[in-house]
A and B are shown apart, each in its own frame.
Chain A
Amino acid sequence: MKRMVKAVYLGTVYLFLYLPLAVLTIYSFNDAKHVVTWKGFTTRWYVKLAENSVLLDAAVNSLLLAAASATAATIIGTLAAIALKRYRFTGRTILSTSMYVVMMSPDIVMGISLLMLFVLMGLPLGFTTLFLSHVTFCLPFVTVTVLARLTGLDGNLAEAAMDLGAREFEVFSRIILPLAMPGVLAGWLLSFTLSLDDVIISFFVTGPTFEILPLKIYSMVRLGVKPEVNALCAVMFGVTLAVVSLTQLCFKERK
């Protein structure tokens, strides 16, 4: 009886989580345009996708942007977290509070204010503005993730290292950074996903020179969902699944 309940419970959870994705994947193999009824198996949407250079370019752009902004946000955010944890300085509370403010702000507010800023600065909209915006909204998430990791550590470790003759840089490179690493990696992955995901902020700060995938799809589906988009989404889901499984495996082995 208990096992039954458990199975039903788990089944419901998985159904909620994966039913939409399963439907999408199945229909990416449906041999019909527009129609939601099953017309037989085909892989032609995948072939079409492979030929659609506009869509693929946008995908590559998105990945590039996500990788670049996640890396930048991770570097800046990690340093900020370490500074917040390790040093007492004026403006410390302001810095940590402002992190939360950025995290909590609605995307639409962020998007409009960033757009205004870039226009005032005279920056042409494109990769640069997208990059700066993505770094901005990813950074607090990295800081919070790394900070959580650092807070869980014994406060005397840095002092123990100094006591044993380590200078400030060695304390950082040999003690704090290695210990913060799981948080840093998690922060990077989170930033990468957030950047890849973002529609609203990107919508405001993007320019015609640099098209990214979410916006491209968004503009495409306004004319109805094309099966190619289904195929693309299925591919992206597959990639995500692979990446997540890989990181899980990596973390398990390190323990």
Chain B
Amino acid sequence: MEHALPCIELEHVSKHFGDQSVLRDIHLTINHGEFLTFLGPSGCGKTTILRLLAGFERPSTGRLRIGGVDVTDLPPHRRAVNTVFQNYALFPHMTVFDNVAFGLRMRRTPAKVIDAEVFSALRMVKMETHHARRPSQLSGGQQQRVAIARAVVNKPLVLLLDEPLSALDYKLRKAMQIELKELRRTLGITFVFVTHDQEEAFSMSDRVAVMNEGVIEQIDSPSAIYEKPVNLFVARFVGEINTFEGRVLSRNGTSMQALVEGEQVRLSLGGNGNGGGAHCPEGGSPASCGSLSAGSPIKVLLRPEDVRLERAAPGDAGGLTGSIVDTVYKGMTIDLIIEMSGGKKILATEFFNEDAPEALFSVGERVRVGWVEDWEVVLPDEGSQSL
């Protein structure tokens, strides 16, 4: 129930540095208790959004509300948010205890309460035995935990995390991801997370906002982002994807006929009832909705794992065909690189079937390329959208 309440509202927020436009008209609502992740390439403005929320920067235009309060003009110390910095930013001249106690002391909390609260926060991140150490005597992962404890001990409405795990090695990062998720469940507060790691974003978040050059391209659940990207940028940023050029021939109800790579194929428009692959979620670019009519150029996107391959019979004609040019063994899966009749190369991922090794394709074989119906993504070809 509480989840429906907006916790953070950004109203048409933009930010310029000199004449460089870093954020453009960001309009966004984050609910109480939500885990929202900003995902995007370097320099797209992720950190800038967090800094606006924390109060280190002022928006050039627009308003910011946190917990229903307009904080646009409030300094950092009067906002109910706390930040976990990428490089931890622990105070080197203080012990772990004093670091964690800092926020409480600033709010003139009685010493007795501070003691209890600090230890409970340190216990939460399993660092209570290290309370007397200096930050320089801790490992990266331990410093990270202290930084988290230092932020959550203040019981903020929102925890802002700017790539908090990027300095950790792979195994520790995985472990910390799980711990952060647990922590979020225990605390029940809103998490706003920044990363440029797609896997991290998907595994932790309720919703992911994919950013590019200062705009939010798509904001949706991880599965929707992956399966129903609204444009090529999103599709390509979150994992491998094959792109085909095509043209709509005719459209009728739940499906359409299209010419793709010179072959006539049937594309599904069923799916979630608002245009199939070319669906239009909230905030999606309007160009991707409803503009598909006979003659429109389109792009058909297909994840490698959604590609279905069949051995082509020698006399077979029609449909998309190609031949295997390379296979890459990946352990659980095997990647097949296929050269289409038109010369285009695509990637297909097959699961390894230990019981039927003969079912695997080998280099040189001709195959028919298909897909699970409805899993293809159809986007209008906007021309300029090439990366």
Residues of chain A touching chain B, judged by Cβ–Cβ distance below 8 Å, are 153-154, 156-157, 159-167, 170, 174-175, 178-179
Closest partner residue, chain A, to B54 (CB atom): A163
Query: In the docked arrangement, what's the CA distance between A47 and B361, Å?
Result: 104
Nearest-neighbour CB distance to chain B for A188, whole angstroms, equals 19
Known: A162-B77, A164-B150. 13 other contacts (CB 8 A): A156-B85, A159-B76, A160-B83, A162-B75, A163-B81, A163-B82, A164-B102, A164-B103, A165-B107, A165-B154, A167-B77, A174-B102, A179-B92
Given contacts A157-B89, A160-B85, contact A166 B56 (CB under 8 A): no
Closest 3 CB pairs of A and B: A165-B106, A164-B103, A156-B89
Whether A156 lies near B87 (C-beta < 8 A) is yes
Q: How does the 8 Å CB contact mask read for B332-357 relative to A, with 1 for contact and 0 for none?
A: 00000000000000000000000000
Q: Is the pair A175, B91 in contact by a Cβ cutoff of 8 Å?
A: yes
Q: Which residues of B contact A179 (CB under 8 A)?
A: 91-93
Which residue on B lies nearest to A181, using beta carbons?
B93
Write out the residue numbers on chain A whose beta carbons fall within 8 Å of the beta carbon of B103: 164-165
Complex: chain B residue closest to A163, CB-CB: B83
Query: Chain B residue with minimal CB distance to A166?
Result: B106
A162 and B93: CB pair below 8 A?
no
- Measured between beta carbons, the chain B residues less than 8 angstroms from A178 are 93
A159 and B150 form a contact (CB under 8 A) = no
Q: Is the CB of A157 within 8 A of B77?
A: no
B147 CB → nearest A CB, Å: 9
A162 and B91 contact, CB distance less than 8 A: no
Question: How many B residues touch A, CB cutoff 8 Å?
Answer: 23
Write the residues of chain B forming the contact surface with A, with a CB cutoff of 8 angstroms: 54-56, 75-77, 81-83, 85, 87, 89-93, 102-103, 106-107, 150-151, 154
Residues of chain B within 8 A (CB-CB) of A163 are 54-56, 76-77, 81-83, 151
CB distance from A178 to the nearest CB of B (A): 5
User: Which residue from chain B places its CB closest to the CB of A162 in the assembled complex?
Assistant: B76
Q: Chain B residues near A162: list those with CB within 8 A.
A: 55-56, 75-77
**Nearest chain-B residue to A156 (Cβ)?**
B89
**Bound form: Cα–Cα A65–B75 in Å:** 43
Partner of A159, one of B81, B89, B107, B151: B89
Q: For B106, list chain A residues within 8 Å (CB).
A: 164-166, 170
What is the chain A residue whose CB lies nearest that of B160? A163
A contact residues around B54 at 8 Å (CB) = 159, 163
CB-CB under 8 A from B87, the residues of chain A are 154, 156
Q: How many A-B residue pairs lie within 8 Å, measured between CB atoms?
A: 60
Q: Chain B residues with Cβ under 8 A from A166's Cβ?
A: 77, 102, 106
CB distance from A9 to the nearest CB of B (A): 34
Q: Which residues of A contact B150 (CB under 8 A)?
A: 164
B340 to chain A, nearest CB (A): 50
- Please pick, from B77, B91, B92, the residue contacting A165 in the complex, using a CB distance under 8 A: B77
Complex contacts, A167 vs chain B, CB 8 Å: 77
CA distance A162 to B77 in the complex (A): 5
The residues of B that contact A175 with a CB separation of less than 8 Å are: 91
CB neighbours (8 Å) of A157 from chain B are 89, 91
Min C-beta distance of A62 to chain B, whole Å: 35
Contacts of B154 in A (CB 8 A): 164-165
Q: A164 to B98: give the CA distance in the assembly, Å.
A: 12
| CB nearest to B81 among chain A residues | A163
Q: Which residues of A contact B102 (CB under 8 A)?
A: 161, 164, 166, 174
Q: In the assembled complex, how far is the CB of residue B334 from the closest CB belonging to chain A, in whole angstroms? A: 45
Provide the residues of chain A in CB contact with B56, threshold 8 Å.
159, 162-163
CA distance A157 to B56 in the complex (A): 12
| Alpha-carbon distance A166/B78, docked complex (angstroms) | 9
Within the assembled complex, what's the spacing in Å between the Cα atoms of A196 and B184? 61
In the docked arrangement, what's the CA distance between A154 and B150, Å? 17
CA distance A161 to B106 in the complex (A): 9
The residue in A159, A160, A175 that gathers the most chain B C-beta atoms within 10 A of its C-beta is A160
Report the minimal beta-carbon distance from A179 to chain B, rounded to whole angstroms. Answer: 6
Contact B93 A160 (CB under 8 A): no
CB-nearest residue of chain A to B106: A165
Contact across chains for B82 and A164 when beta carbons are under 8 A apart: yes
Give B93's nearest chain A residue, CB to CB.
Answer: A178
Report the minimum CB–CB distance from A25 to chain B (whole Å). Answer: 41
List B contacts of A164 (CB < 8 A). Answer: 77, 82, 102-103, 106, 150-151, 154
In whole Å, how far is B280's beta carbon from the nearest beta carbon of chain A? Answer: 38
| Most chain A Cβ neighbours within 10 Å, of B55, B82, B89, B150 | B89
B330 CB to nearest A CB, Å: 39
Q: Which B residues are in CB contact (< 8 Å) with A156?
A: 85, 87, 89
Shortest distance between the CB of A66 and any CB in chain B (Å): 29
Instruction: Report chain B residues within 8 Å CB of A161.
Output: 91, 102
Smallest CB separation, A162 vs chain B (Å): 4
Q: Using Cβ atoms and an 8 Å threshold, which residues of chain A touch B83?
A: 159-160, 163
For the complex, what is the distance from the CA of A178 to the CA of B154, rounded to whole Å?
A: 23
User: Which of B55, B87, B91 is most buried by chain A, counting CB atoms within 10 A of its CB?
Assistant: B91
Distance between B92 CB and nearest chain A CB, rounded to angstroms: 7
Measured CB to CB, the nearest residue on chain B to A171 is B77
Contact A154–B93 (Cβ < 8 Å): no
Question: What CA separation (Å) do A83 and B103 show in the bound complex?
Answer: 24
